Amino acid sequence: MSSTAVRDRVRTLASSTNQRLMTRLVQSRRVPRVAFQHYFIETAGLHSRVMLQNFYSTFWPHLGAQATARIDVFTPDGRRVGRYEERLAPFGSLFLEAKDLLTRVGAELDEGSLTIDLEPPPGVLDELASFPLAEPWTLRISTPFWMAYYDGDENYMYVHSIDRQVGEFYGVPAPVGWFLSRRFGVPGGSWRAGRLLDTGGLKELQIVAINHGAVQRTSTVGLFDAVTDDPVWTAKHTFAPHALQRFAVPPETLSERSLQVRVGVDPLATINGKPYVLMRYGDGPLSLHHG
């Protein structure tokens, strides 16, 4: 047997073993959960609000059970500084101002990120463990949620969950979580936004990039000509695990000429780790959108 055939055989056996172990884990009501990571800002005239629903009630309405939300707060350099927990009633919602969240965890931050893990009621795990899933070893639970961003004049912007934070799995033994983290969080590729921007009308443009990954990553963030993909403005930055950076595009770059551009990142730190974009046209309000 050739060395290539031996390697393929080893990989096949390892994959089969992992599938059996993960299937047993799920069938024992220990379903891996991984949290989405979202940006918050309480400066530059903007505020943030967390919006979360007890989505388990939507899919398991007959259970009528509460769920526990665990919200972790991170500094811009990726350090976790506190956790806040709250019970959500069946079909309930949570609307939590970022400034109130920061007060509850004792953190003084102008910006940063947060993750939410909504722990499922026991009845949900019972049903998932017994449900005839085609590939039970692939089952993962994540908690999608919205962030609202608004200014003093009540101009509102909404962004849904973008990417999950690599590095911590809930609901499974620590060794299993470590193993899953090693196989999760693959770096993304070169990325360009689908949204066209015209530099001639822009008065302010900022780009917020996050490393959702558990290891240090280096990326180039910038504006690129929509036709030629030539760089118009770029900044290279090394991100610590879970860290973020807000880049301000120099005003002279925006005022020099009218040019259609796209925001880009080379490469994304994680597969779907797209940036946030803050921008202002003329004398209008500062707006925020996803990539």
Residue 11, pLDDT above cutoff 70: no
Phi/psi for 56 (5° steps) reads -60, -35
Residue 1 pLDDT grade (very low, low, confident, very high; cuts 50, 70, 90): low
23 falls within a domain: yes
221 falls within a domain: yes
Q: Let me know whether 276 and 237 are in one domain.
A: yes
69 falls within a domain: yes
Q: What is the pLDDT of residue 248?
A: 97
Q: Let me know whether 276 and 142 are in one domain.
A: no
Q: Let me know whether 178 and 247 are in one domain.
A: no
1 falls within a domain: no
**Domain final residue, candidates 182, 205, 227:** 182
Helix (H, G, I), strand (E, B) or coil at 167: coil
- Between 136 and 99, the more confident residue is 99
Residue 256, pLDDT above cutoff 90: no
Residue 5, pLDDT above cutoff 70: no
Residue whose structure tokens are 């499922």 = 120
Sign of CA dihedral 65, 66, 67, 68: negative
| Average pLDDT, integer, range 125-152 | 92
**Domain final residue, candidates 151, 182, 213:** 182
Residue 14 pLDDT grade (very low, low, confident, very high; cuts 50, 70, 90): very low
| Average pLDDT, integer, range 20-31 | 89
**Domain final residue, candidates 132, 155, 182:** 182
DSSP percent split of the chain into helix, strand, coil, nearest 5:
20, 40, 40
Q: Let me know whether 118 and 260 are in one domain.
A: no
Q: What is the pLDDT of residue 35?
A: 96
- Provide the residue range defining the domain that includes 218: 191-290
Residue 13, pLDDT above cutoff 50: no
CB 156, CB 43: distance < 8 Å = no
Residue 176 pLDDT grade (very low, low, confident, very high; cuts 50, 70, 90): confident
CATH number of the domain at 254, please. 2.60.40
pLDDT digits (tens, 9 = 90+) for 186-243: 889 999 999 999 998 899 999 999 999 999 999 999 999 999 999 999 999 999 999 9
Residue 183 pLDDT grade (very low, low, confident, very high; cuts 50, 70, 90): low
Q: Let me know whether 31 and 104 are in one domain.
A: yes
Residue 15, pLDDT above cutoff 90: no
Residue 175 pLDDT grade (very low, low, confident, very high; cuts 50, 70, 90): confident
Q: Let me know whether 134 and 201 are in one domain.
A: no
Q: What is the pLDDT of residue 17?
A: 67
Q: What is the pLDDT of residue 10?
A: 34
Total of domains in the chain: 2
Residue 244 pLDDT grade (very low, low, confident, very high; cuts 50, 70, 90): very high
- C-beta neighbour count of 236 within 10 angstroms: 10
pLDDT digits (tens, 9 = 90+) for 55-102: 999 999 999 999 999 999 999 999 999 999 999 999 999 999 999 999
Q: Let me know whether 49 and 170 are in one domain.
A: yes
Q: Let me know whether 161 and 119 are in one domain.
A: yes
- C-beta neighbour count of 203 within 10 angstroms: 14
Do strands 260-266 and 191-192 pair parallel, antiparallel, or not at all (unpaired)?
antiparallel
Q: Let me know whether 207 and 265 are in one domain.
A: yes
Q: Let me know whether 219 and 140 are in one domain.
A: no
* Single-letter residue type at 175: P
